[in-house]
Amino acid sequence: MDEFKKMPSSEMPEENKNLHHDEENRPKISPILAAFIGLIGVLFLYQVVGSLLTMAILGIDLKNVPVLSERLMIMAGQILFILLPSLIFAKAFYKNVSKVIRFYFPNWEEIFLFTIGLAILIPLIEYYQSIQNHFVDIWVSNSKFLQTIKSYLDVWNDSVTKAMGNLLAAKTIFDGAFIILLVAVIPAVCEEVMFRGYVQKSFEYKLKPFTAALITAVFFGAFHMEPYSFIPLVALGLYFGFAAYKSNSIFVPMSLHFFNNFLMVIFYFIFGDDDVVNNAVTKSFDLLSTLMIFIALIALFAGVVLLIRKYYSRKIIT
């Protein structure tokens, strides 16, 4: 994972020294504390305050709430309780909000390279999840305790799947456009400003870049509360973090986040299949062929990561 390692200052141009050793923009408090204040604050606001506000406006019986009202509340919650607090925390703890959020525009080559990696990572994650679910099914079958835990996870997963299916249901072109805005655009902006901007950058002031990206990715995975997709979400979050660190631009992970969610929406529209959003354990598949494809995708993805590293090495030299 040395792609995250910092280069010696003597080998960096002045702008890169400012990127990695930005003493002037260190937070007024411990950067680790600043990161956790942001994480805890956003979690409380989005999950607790947002839920209470939703019930106060739409009522306790959310099952009978019009889907448009639910979509609007989710959108408002992302903006008010994720994006806005992230910018407020950045302004409160840092002198330069642009630097901590990484408000720098990348060139098209950077977005293109990272998108190629994501196009490989998405099916890689799908194959990993099939393997994971296969072995989970085997382990659970040998333990009543694990079966009990799995039953609770299945209930939770089914509720998440059903809620997502309701949100993705489109009857008109307007519905489709609004769903893309809700599921792809808004989360890409709000969550990336929070996680790969404010939180990861705060961790980077105190921790090694890879460690900062990994910790942020773990919280990103936990934030979505999808039991069978935790590791895939961490993998996505880590790649987004790699992109943010290498490019020093929040717009690169935003683009990747949008592309990932946009594909999910499009696949759901095309196939109309709950499997697109259902992450429950699958029952049968060819393990050997799945493992072979999975290994091949890992090798291909590693090649793209090396290509990205070489691209930035040449960029630094020139």
**Would you place residue 315 in the very low, low, confident or very high pLDDT band (cuts 50, 70, 90)?**
confident
**Please, what's the b/e burial string for 239-266 (b: 16 or more CB within 10 A of its CB; e: otherwise)?**
bbbbbbbbbbbbbbbbbbbbbbbeebbe
State the pLDDT confidence band at 3, using cuts at 50, 70 and 90: very low
Record the pTM. Answer: 0.88
Note the helical H segments in 169-250: 173-180, 186-192, 200-204, 209-223, 230-247
Is 277 within 8 Å of 131 (Cβ atoms)?
Answer: no
pLDDT band at 24 (very low <50, low <70, confident <90, very high): low
CB 15 within 8 A of CB 104: no
Alpha carbon 29 to chain centroid, angstroms: 26
The pLDDT of residue 274: 54
* Higher local confidence (pLDDT), 14 or 25: 25
pLDDT per position as a tens digit, 189-236: 999 999 999 999 999 999 999 999 999 999 999 999 888 899 999 999
Q: How far apart are CA 263 and CA 184, in angstroms?
A: 9
Which residue type, as a one-letter code, is found at position 316?
I
